Amino acid sequence: MDLGVSRALHGPAPQSTSGSPFHPVSSPTGSDLHPASRGGAGVLLLPPHHRSPVSILIHPIRPRPRPRISSPRSPLVPNPILRAEVAPGRTADAAEELYRLRDTFFPRDPVEKAAALRALADNALAILDSLPPEQRKTPQQRAVYEFLRGKILDVFPDYHKEAEDHLSKAVKLNPSLVDAWLCLGNCIWKKGDLASAMNCFSLALSKGADKKILCQLSMLERSMAQGSEGQAQLVEESIKHAKEAVMLDIRDGNSWYNLGNAYLTSFFVSGSWDHMKLHHSVKAYQNAEKDETTKCNPDLYYNCATADKYLENYERALRGFEAAALKDPGLGADTEVQKIISLLDKLDGAMKGQLRSKRLASSVSSLSEVNIKSSHKKATIGILSEGLNKTVAVLGKVVLLIRHDNIAPMYYLTCDLDQSYFILSVYGLRNEAIKEGDRVALLDPYYRILDISWKEQRYQFKSIRVDFPEQILVNEKAPPPHHVMPFKTVPRQRTFIHAQD
């Protein structure tokens, strides 16, 4: 997220893939949205295995050391075009094991992972070099040889020119070698040449629909959207290609994960604060979790927790971040857990510390005289139904600004005409838009009674959420344009949004 979400929103490393809110920077290595999800406004989308948090793009979808949002992943399973009689089986198996380690092994010390990858890569190269010359004679055999060597060398997070050279030879020898085009695109993505990476994926896709290619293309489009004038259109294209991948195999967890990252990214970069995007994102992540392979991806839990956090489903968010921390201690998810607990402590403390003074009663009574010049019917929080309350306006007095560690939303202790207190969460406005003592009119309020249990602690309070600046009047006036803040962020994919795209 531009605000610092973290992996969030892009996805896993290139298949065989990170931000806060999401981590995620998009990258060919594999994680998309990882909160820091991992990124921040203007965050550079790295290739998939540069795990960094997707941060709320204004603060990376989580700053992670990914991020959240996406990174391309290399294919783990050889494309059907590599026939058994041609493909060097032992080397292909060794390469598959190498990428499996990359995508599932997350020790506390990154040096340990680097050493393990180097050892397996050296072993895979030794197996490849042991192939007798007669198995490298034909152009097709040499193409497979060059492809496997390039794929093995490209397993590391950083760009490797030798890997690009071998992969380039592979596609020249056999332009129909789809997995070689996919790996070449991931490799080129790492050095920042997004246009050439896009060309590789497009060429691979021209050979036929393929879920892995569509996922990588979707991640790349999210990466290209960062700072682009056509940002919204690119993110919509990312969602489109992610959906196409899911339709090819509705049981594939990585495709669902990628779709979740695409929706999460859309929520942050659109600036529209459409919480339906978050609901779509969570649903996609839940489908991804049904795949036993994808369940191993810590970015999945990080990015889903990021979406739940912005939906104010705090208990689910806590469980998700805790699960991500257990699967990958280096992700920084434990920090997100502490942030939510700190926020809940502050919200709970504000509700319990409310003062019903005569002065406050007098100031609140003046709300009855407010004319909001709207067809909305005035109401108090006591008559609201849980969920969206259309054609209703709740009038309130801002008692206290509740400061916390995230950029959005803003939280206020507020009191209505009946002197009932509630927590008001506001998206899309800057800090200075609402001050203590201001009168607010909340149009079409989204009302909830929150009841959160965590580690023997229980938090209970009433809440109204304002998603759009158009839903609030401050002292009977609409917020001026300079008080409106577009929230740009990206999910983490391991490669961003930590995500494994």
User: What CATH number is associated with residue 389?
Assistant: 2.40.50.550
Is 337 within the bounds of a domain?
Answer: no
pLDDT recorded at residue 271: 63
Predicted confidence (pLDDT) per residue in 144-174, tens digit = 999 999 999 999 999 999 999 999 999 999 9
Question: Domain for residue 98, yes or no?
Answer: yes
Q: Is 404 domain-assigned? A: yes
Q: Residue 324 corresponds to which tokens in the numbers above?
A: 């991500």
**Same-domain pairing of 241 and 93:** yes
| 94 and 242 part of one domain | yes
How many C-beta atoms surround the C-beta of residue 484 within 10 A? 16
The residue with greater pLDDT, 294 or 35, is: 294
Inter-residue contact 275 to 47 (CB < 8 Å): no
Q: How far apart are CA 282 and CA 303, in angstroms?
A: 9
Residues 97 and 226 both lie in one domain: yes
Is pLDDT above 60 for 56? no
Last residue of a domain, one of 195, 217, 250: 250
Instruction: Read off the pLDDT of each residue in 90-96 and give the average, rounded to a whole number.
Output: 93
Model-level pTM? 0.81
Range of the domain at 394: 368-483
Residues 378, 243 share a domain: no
Q: Closest by alpha carbon to 106, among 93, 118, 95, 117?
A: 117
55 falls within a domain: no
Give the closest residue to 194 by CA, choosing from 102, 72, 73, 79: 72
Whether the pLDDT of residue 51 is over 50: the answer is no
Tell which of 250, 270, 294 closes a domain: 250
DSSP state letters, 99-155 = HHHHHH---SSHHHHHHHHHHHHHHHHHHHHTS-GGGG-SHHHHHHHHHHHHHHHTT
Please tell me the distance from the alpha carbon of residue 103 to that of residue 30, in angstroms, as a whole number: 8
Q: Is 182 inside a domain boundary?
A: yes
The answer to whether position 62 is within a domain reads no
Phi then psi dihedrals of residue 424, to 5 deg: -105, 120
DSSP labels, 58-95: TEESS----------B--SS--TTS-TTTS-HHHHHHH
The b-or-e profile of 115-130 (16+ CB within 10 A means b, else e) is eebeebbeebbebbee
CATH number at residue 204: 1.25.40.10
Q: Which residue has the tokens 């989308």?
A: 45
- Residue 301 belongs to a domain: no
Tell me the C-alpha distance between 216 and 398, whole Å.
47
pLDDT-based confidence at residue 363 (cuts at 50, 70, 90): low
Phi and psi at residue 125, to the nearest 5°: -65, -35
- Domains held by the chain: number: 2
Do residue 377 and residue 242 come from a single domain? no
Does some domain include residue 297? no
Per the structure block, which two tokens stand in for 275?
């919480």
